[in-house]
């Protein structure tokens, strides 16, 4: 049972008055004609009514329940883009106008919260850790989580999302209204997007360096590209060209001839006479390892095959190799002066004699296909036994794993390799005699694809499968080039032909193309002869800036898995020579590499508003999109939504705040006063 406060008070008063009338109506104690007695009678009745009313109200108070009607206050979150790309255009006047108009319109009826974002959300403009990265989706999700009381979000941004998250994946329970900042045409700018070059070359070779360039609103401008060596101010190669359109996306090829061996640093610079957005993206640096002399590789096949054509093309582009192609129909191959042999579909039933003994020290890669004779192969090579009489009717996806063939790929190349189509594979069981040597396996079944069968000073790799040419075709169709396919076969062949009769160190770092102030983790691995992994000891890594006197040395941590890694270290943009040294089987070994720490120029890649993304975010989340010229229209839309969203809310309290002790004391006081009056009148 529950009682409202109003009816409870009315019932208490009515009961108190009724009880007082019933008690004093026929009271004969008082002289009705005496004025004083009548006043005492009225006062006593009034005191009895008050005390009775209070007692009844206190008795009813446990069942009281009050209702309070309160209007909800709508809260709106304004999220403003403070990344560098917005600062290029300087929309501060638009943002200030938007904030002032929202405050005027909302007044005290709507709660306005203002936040800023680039890679993260902050309450103050300019306090972002990385204004050179814009993560619109993460920022919106953070605002929803942090300011959960907000009923709607207004996003003021140029839409230039350059983080990893998919910008079209956001679905919010709150309406999101977007205001397009920035410029729909972009700004005047020339930039070097990427530089593509061989990682290892030979002295005096003609080396092609491909420079991907983009230009915006520089029609008719003359550009000069120079490649400079870090140790010389004179350009090694130059190219002059003119821009013939407002928007240009082109590749310029420059040819250089490195003459000094070692890890060498180079810089590509673009000279543009027009005032640009920035000149920070007019230069790019890179390292190349320059060696003295090419190595000879023979690609020997049973006959023409699509895989042979694709592999031969990939290896022919590798600067440090002389790759020759030989078919067995032309007779046994000549093995003199070779640094490595790649056998394709050999030995087969026609050509079982490969003119090479089981004890040969020439590094060999066997690419096993449907035409390979399992009986002759099993008699020639130890380590894996091929099934006999088996059809090549299986299709298998390939997965990579860490093993004794150290193939190191960038994250982009690994992603492409993961997308490659299936290969043809024997339907029988391949017997694995050395499971730990597998570098590539079939997905799910874990059957060997790429294996290291080296032992006793002989270096032998084995690649099982047909249809590698489909990798090249699929990658060209998806990306316009076959960089992952080429990189895989080039690294595999280079690993095959290198002279690793002594121990060596493998130095790597993550990420492979770090940005300024981004944390970099260095790792070091070691191999003995025959690819036996060894844990390096007493490691030191030295970093030297190739353009200044700065250098530092630090000692990484070790673990028991054959890998040592450093704590992350943040470096400013620049070119660094990295020297790593360690003890491997009580011998001190050293390796050197070059690392380029780039300026974070993601905000410069695109300088025009992404209207499509802002429209998608608004329309997918019950909102609307407006350009910066339509601020007033945005305000009208938001105010209409607020008017339609206001609701009344009933808040119930089980028990109102009643001070029982105070009212009980008052009731006793009134009873005592009534008793004193009656005693004075002589009724007791």
Please, are residues 522 and 541 in contact by the beta-carbon 8 Å criterion?
yes
Residue 221 has a CB neighbour count (10 Å cut-off) of 18
Average pLDDT, the chain: 82
Which residues neighbour 186 within 8 Å (Cβ) at sequence distance 6 or greater? 216, 217, 606, 607, 608
| For residue 64, pLDDT beyond 80 | no
Q: What percent of the chain has pLDDT over 70?
A: 87
Q: Which of 243-252, 452-461, 537-546 has the lowest mean pLDDT?
A: 452-461
Residue 500 scores a pLDDT above 60: no
* Mean pLDDT of the 467-484 span: 94
Residue 464 has a pLDDT of 94
Indicate the range of 225-239, 412-426, 516-530 predicted with least confidence. Answer: 516-530
**Range name among 127-131, 277-281, 331-335 with the lowest pLDDT average:** 127-131
**Which comes out higher in pLDDT, residue 164 or 479?**
479
Question: In 446-605, which ranges are E strands?
Answer: 448-452, 460-464, 504-510, 519-527, 533-534, 537-545, 551-554, 557-558, 563-565, 569-570, 574-584, 587-597
Rounded to whole angstroms, what are the CA distances from 99 to 113, 139, 280, 618?
10, 19, 33, 19
> With contact defined as beta carbons under 8 Å apart, do 562 and 533 qualify?
yes
Residue 129 has phi, psi (to 5 degrees) of: -70, -35
Query: How far is CA 263 from its chain centroid?
Result: 31
Q: For the purposes of burial, counting CB atoms within 10 Å of the CB of 398, is it exposed (0-12), middle (13-18) or buried (19 or more)?
A: buried
d(CA 424, CA 397): 9
Separation of alpha carbons 465 and 311, rounded Å: 13
The owner of tokens 């981004």 is: 518
Residue partners of 678: CB distance under 8 A and separation at least 6: 29, 44, 684
What distance in Å separates the CA atoms of residue 524 and residue 582, rounded to the nearest whole number?
9
- In the predicted model, what is the mean pLDDT of residues 422-437? 75
Which one, of 281, 264, 261, 262, lies nearest residue 272 by Cα? 281
What's the rounded Cα separation, in Å, for the pair 87 and 94? 12
CA–CA distance from 15 to each of 1, 54, 259, 669 (Å)? 20, 10, 113, 19
Mean pLDDT of 652-669: 72
If one counts every other C-beta atom within 10 angstroms of the C-beta of residue 101, the result is 14
The pLDDT, as a whole number, for residue 367 is 96
> Which CATH architecture does the domain made up of 295-497 adopt?
3-Layer(aba) Sandwich (3.40)
Q: Which residue has the higher pLDDT, 437 or 258?
A: 258
Q: Give one word for 236, left, alpha or beta, with left for phi > 0 and alpha for psi -120 to 50.
A: alpha
Cα angle value 280/285/290 (rounded, 5°): 170
End-to-end CA separation in angstroms for the chain: 41
Q: Which of 48-57, 144-153, 590-599, 643-652 has the highest mean pLDDT?
A: 590-599
d(CA 219, CA 459): 57
Please give the C-alpha separations between residue 409 and each of 396, 488, 491, 500, 528, in angstroms, as whole numbers: 22, 8, 9, 20, 22
**Over 90: is that where the pLDDT of 280 sits?**
no
10 Å CB burial of residue 109 (0-12, 13-18, 19+) is: exposed
Q: What is the pLDDT of residue 275?
A: 73
pLDDT over 60 at 102, yes or no: yes
The yes-or-no verdict on residue 684 having pLDDT over 50 is no
The answer on pLDDT for 651 being more than 70 is no
Helix (H, G, I), strand (E, B) or coil at 506: strand
pLDDT > 90 in the chain, percent: 25
Identify which of 463, 530, 493 has the alpha carbon closest to the alpha carbon of residue 340: 493
pLDDT value of position 661: 81
Model confidence at 308: pLDDT above 80? yes
Q: Categorize the per-residue pLDDT at 435 as very low, low, confident or very high, splitting at 50, 70 and 90.
A: very low
Structure confidence at residue 636 (pLDDT): 92
Question: pLDDT: is 501 or 390 the higher one?
Answer: 390
CATH class of 504-597: mainly beta
Has residue 218 got a pLDDT over 80? yes
In terms of pTM, does the model score above 0.75? no
Q: Which residues contact 609 (CB under 8 A, 6 or more apart)?
A: 158, 159, 160, 180, 181, 182, 183, 184
- The more confident residue out of 619 and 83 is 619
Annotate 272-308 with DSSP letters as a single string.
E-S--S-STTSEEEEEEEEESS-EEEEEEESS--HHH
- Domain assignments of the chain as residue spans, ordered by start: 5-67+653-681, 73-184+608-646, 189-291, 295-497, 504-597
Most confident of 161-170, 177-186, 197-206, 472-481: 472-481
Instruction: Label residue 398 by pLDDT band (50, 70, 90).
Output: very high
Separation of alpha carbons 120 and 142, rounded Å: 8
C-alpha to C-alpha distance for 196 and 211, rounded to whole angstroms: 6
Residue with tokens 């045409």: 185
* Confidence tier at 559 by pLDDT (50, 70, 90): low
Of the two residues 26 and 41, the one the predictor is more confident about is 41
Of 453, 333, 477, 474, nearest to 404 (Cα)? 453
CA distance 66 to 656: 6
Q: How far apart are CA 543 and CA 552, in angstroms?
A: 5
Per residue in 112-129, pLDDT (tens digit) is 899 998 888 888 776 655
Count of H-run helices and E-run strands, the chain: 14, 38
Q: Is the per-residue pLDDT at 224 higher than 80?
A: yes
Strands 364-368 and 340-344: parallel
Of 63-72, 201-210, 671-680, the poorest mean pLDDT is in 63-72
Q: Which region, left, alpha or beta, applies to residue 232 given φ > 0 means left and ψ of -120 to 50 means alpha?
A: beta
Asked if residue 444 has pLDDT above 80, the reply is yes
Residue 142: predicted pLDDT: 87
Residue 677, pLDDT score: 76
Q: Give residue 482's pLDDT.
A: 93
- Say whether the peptide bond before residue 486 is cis (omega within 30 degrees of 0): no
The arithmetic mean of pLDDT across residues 337-366, rounded, is 84
Residues 6+ apart with CB under 8 A from 152: 74, 76, 77, 174, 175, 176, 177, 623, 638, 641, 642
The CATH class that applies to domain 73-184+608-646 reads alpha beta
Q: Give pLDDT, residue 470.
A: 96
Instruction: Summarize the confidence of residues 548-563 as an average pLDDT.
Output: 75
Highest mean pLDDT among 19-28, 631-640, 662-671, 674-683: 631-640
Does 189-291 match 73-184+608-646 at the fold level?
no
CATH class of 189-291: mainly beta
How much is the pLDDT for 647?
A: 54
């Amino acid at each position: 049972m529950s009682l409202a406060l109003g009816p409870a008070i009315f019932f208490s008063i009515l009961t108190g008055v009724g009880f007082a009338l019933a008690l004093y109506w026929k009271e004969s104690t008082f002289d009705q004609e005496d004025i004083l007695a009548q006043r005492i009678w009225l006062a006593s009745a009034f005191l009895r009514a008050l005390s009775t009313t209070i007692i009844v109200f206190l008795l009813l108070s446990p069942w009281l329940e009050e209702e309070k009607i309160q209007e909800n206050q709508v809260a709106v979150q304004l999220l403003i883009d403070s990344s560098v790309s917005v600062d290029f255009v300087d929309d501060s006047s638009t943002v200030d106008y938007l904030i002032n108009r929202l405050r005027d319109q909302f007044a005290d009826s709507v709660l306005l919260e203002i936040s800023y974002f680039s890679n993260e959300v902050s309450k103050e403009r300019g306090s972002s850790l990385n204004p050179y990265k814009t993560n619109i989706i993460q920022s919106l999700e953070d605002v929803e989580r942090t300011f959960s009381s907000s009923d709607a979000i207004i996003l003021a941004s140029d839409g230039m999302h350059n983080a990893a998250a998919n910008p079209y994946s956001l679905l919010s329970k709150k309406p999101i209204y977007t205001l397009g900042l920035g410029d729909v045409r972009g700004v005047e700018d020339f930039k070097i997007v990427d530089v593509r070059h061989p990682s290892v070359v030979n002295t005096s070779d003609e080396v092609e360096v491909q420079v991907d360039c983009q230009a915006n609103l520089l029609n008719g401008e003359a550009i000069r590209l120079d490649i400079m060596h870090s140790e010389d101010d004179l350009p090694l190669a130059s190219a002059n060209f003119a821009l013939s359109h407002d928007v240009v996306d082109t590749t310029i090829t420059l040819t250089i001839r490195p003459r000094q061996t070692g890890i060498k640093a180079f810089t590509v610079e673009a000279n543009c006479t027009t005032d640009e957005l920035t000149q920070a993206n007019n230069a790019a640096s890179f390292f190349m390892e320059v060696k003295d002399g090419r190595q000879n590789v023979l690609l020997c096949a049973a006959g023409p095959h699509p895989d042979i054509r694709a592999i031969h093309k990939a290896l022919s582009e590798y600067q440090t190799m002389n790759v020759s192609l030989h078919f067995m129909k032309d007779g046994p191959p000549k093995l003199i002066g070779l640094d490595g042999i790649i056998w394709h579909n050999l030995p087969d039933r026609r050509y079982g004699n490969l003119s090479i003994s089981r004890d040969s020290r020439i590094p060999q890669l066997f690419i096993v296909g449907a035409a390979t004779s399992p009986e002759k192969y099993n008699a020639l090579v130890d380590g894996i036994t091929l099934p006999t009489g088996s059809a090549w009717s299986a299709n298998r996806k390939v997965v990579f794993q860490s093993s004794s063939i150290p193939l190191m790929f960038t994250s982009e190349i690994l992603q492409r390799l993961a997308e490659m189509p299936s290969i043809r594979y024997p339907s029988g069981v391949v017997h694995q005699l050395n499971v730990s040597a597998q570098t590539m396996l079939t997905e799910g079944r874990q059957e060997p694809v790429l294996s290291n069968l080296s032992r006793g000073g002989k270096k032998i790799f084995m690649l099982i499968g047909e249809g590698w040419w489909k990798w090249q075709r699929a990658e060209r169709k998806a990306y316009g080039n076959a960089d992952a396919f080429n990189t895989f076969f080039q690294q595999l062949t280079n690993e095959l032909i290198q002279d690793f009769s002594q121990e060596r160190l493998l130095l790597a770092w993550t990420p492979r193309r770090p940005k300024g102030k981004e944390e970099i983790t260095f790792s070091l691995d070691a191999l003995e002869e025959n690819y036996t992994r060894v844990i390096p000891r007493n490691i030191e890594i030295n970093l030297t800036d190739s353009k200044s006197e700065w250098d530092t040395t630090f000692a990484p941590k070790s673990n028991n898995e054959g890998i040592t890694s450093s704590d992350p270290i943040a470096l400013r943009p620049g070119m660094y020579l990295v020297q790593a040294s360690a003890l491997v089987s009580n011998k001190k070994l050293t390796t050197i590499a070059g690392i380029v720490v780039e300026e974070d120029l993601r905000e410069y890649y695109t300088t025009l508003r992404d209207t499509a993304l802002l429209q998608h975010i608004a329309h997918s989340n019950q909102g609307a999109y407006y350009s910066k010229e339509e601020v007033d229209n945005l305000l009208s839309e938001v105010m209409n939504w607020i008017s339609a969203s206001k609701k009344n809310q009933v808040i119930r309290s089980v028990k109102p705040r009643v001070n029982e002790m105070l009212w009980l004391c008052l009731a006793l006081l009134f009873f005592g006063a009534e008793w004193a009056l009656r005693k004075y009148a002589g009724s007791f």
